[in-house]
Amino acid sequence: MEKVIKIEGGHRLSGTVTISGSKNATVALIPACVLANQPVTIYGVPNISDVRSLMVLLQELNVDVKEVEPGTLYIDPRNMKNIPMVSEAVTKLRASYYFMGALLGKFGHAEIRMPGGCYLGPRPIDLHLKGFEALGAQIDYENGCYILHADELVGTNIFLDISSVGATINIMMAAVYAKGRTIIENAAREPEIIDIATLLNKMGARIHGMGTSTITIDGVQDLQGCSHEIIPDRIEAATYIIIGAAVGDDMRVENVIPQHLDAIIMKLKEIGIKMEVGSDFIHIFGQHDQLKPTEILTKPYPGFATDVQQPFSVLLTQAHGQSTVTETIYTERFKHCDELRKMGADIDVRIPSAFIHGKTSLYGTRVKATDLRCGAALVVAGLMAQGVTEIHDIYHIDRGYDDLDGKLKKLGAKLWREEVED
């Protein structure tokens, strides 16, 4: 038996939804906590399966981790043991690779299986490994495991060929204990990187320039415990804003940092969505005018986020004319288009672009979430469609969306979970 989400479409939504802590920040913050030599408390932790997988990994490392209250994690690494990370939990999420930088930085040694996660096309970790090697690590690959070792990590200048979020964070974590100064050039600038650097600086690290393309890390000898509140999830916020644009009459999205959403907000206004942008909220007034087609080009932050193009593509099926979405980061991020076509969408995929012809009506049917953001796109489509949409492989959705069912029901959506035959 398999559990699925069923959505009865055609209902208009209204009300207020509160955004949870950032999934993309959380999955790096949790491994970063093991760099401390005292307990760390994190607030605003989203209730998602990726967090539960990371808690399992911490327990395997003999780290004391507990949820002291909903959304608050207490992490005590004082009795931590640096054992090989080869369990099945490692393969369940890609973010397990952040333990490479954390363990290498703290112990000078790390053994870890090839990380898992959504398949979005080639996502090599060669930039991470090149950064570790530049700091002085020797890297071997045996029996599906990376083995990283350094008698001493020494600061150096590292230029990233691509401004990779994962590589920037991983190198930053490895460098906090390195001898001397490390400079990362062409560093990624995502808000999540600022959040991780802020946590590390609270512990006693000396990191400067986060949020710019040049990050400087001066190595220290000790990191202490601290408390830290996670930034709001800009991708979850974008998803609910798109839902409001698609099926909302009067929706307010709270606990957001609007500056993190500038590119998405500009595109929504461009196609004809009316909204009010406040200091920590976005109020969507509903779709009253004919939506205009547009062109989207995904780019690293502060450009249009690749994580948002899939749910945004669903909204573009309601624009009059042809819209183009070009994916410059993960070329495989078009699998949702096959599922949307089952629902009546007119989409022509010619990688690296998808051409969306609108306006088309969507109809409920059986579809599959091939990855996390494909799942989000299918939820948006299900809310818009006539009839009932049945979404399979919903474990992808649960990896990144905290209380999706409860938040949507509170807004007036009709959805439920059922067990069905595989």
Structure tokens at 125: 């970790």
291-328 burial, b for 16+ CB within 10 Å, e for fewer?
bebbebebebbeebbbbbbbbbbbbbbbbeeebebbbe
CA dihedral 287, 288, 292, 294 (to 10 degrees): -30
Structure tokens at 136: 């002085």
Question: CA–CA separation, 189 vs 186, rounded Å?
Answer: 9
Closest CA to 325 of 302, 357, 300: 357
The catalytically annotated residue of 33, 118, 226, 337 is 118
Residue 33 annotated to the active site: no
Determine whether the annotation assigns residue 123 to a binding site. Answer: yes
Determine whether the annotation assigns residue 124 to a binding site. Answer: yes
The bridge status of strand 248-254 relative to strand 414-420 is unpaired
Determine whether the annotation assigns residue 280 to a binding site. Answer: no
Taking residue 336's Cβ as centre, other Cβ atoms within 10 Å add up to 29
Determine whether the annotation assigns residue 329 to a binding site. Answer: yes
The bridge status of strand 40-43 relative to strand 226-229 is parallel
Determine whether the annotation assigns residue 307 to a binding site. Answer: yes
Q: How many CA atoms lie within 13 A of 161 on its CB side?
A: 8
> Which are the catalytic amino acids?
118
Binding site for phosphoenolpyruvate: residue ranges? 23-24
